[in-house]
Homo-oligomer: A and B are copies of this chain.
Amino acid sequence: MSRIAVIIDNGFEDSEYLKPAEAFRREGHEIVHIGRKEGAVVKGKKKETPVTIEREVSSLSPDDFDALLIPGGYSPDKLRAYPEPVEFVRAFVESGKPVFFICHGGQLLISADVLRGRKATGWKSIARDLINAGADYRDEEVVVDGNFVSSRQPSDLDAFIRESLRLLPA
Contact = CB atoms under 8 A, between A and B. Distances in A.
Given A129-B129, A132-B129, A133-B132, A123 B74 contact: no
Chain A, interface size: which category?
10 to 19
**Most B Cβ at <10 Å: residue of A80, A104, A125, A133:** A125
A135 to B, nearest CB: 10
**Most B Cβ at <10 Å: residue of A80, A110, A128:** A128
A124 interface: yes
A157 B19 CA distance: 40
Nearest to A113: B128
**Most B Cβ at <10 Å: residue of A80, A124, A132:** A132
Interface in A70-85: 74, 77-78, 80-81
Interface string A28-72: 000000000000000000000000000000000000000000000
A81 B132 contact: no
Interface of A: 74, 77-78, 80-81, 104, 107, 110-111, 113, 123-125, 128-129, 132-133
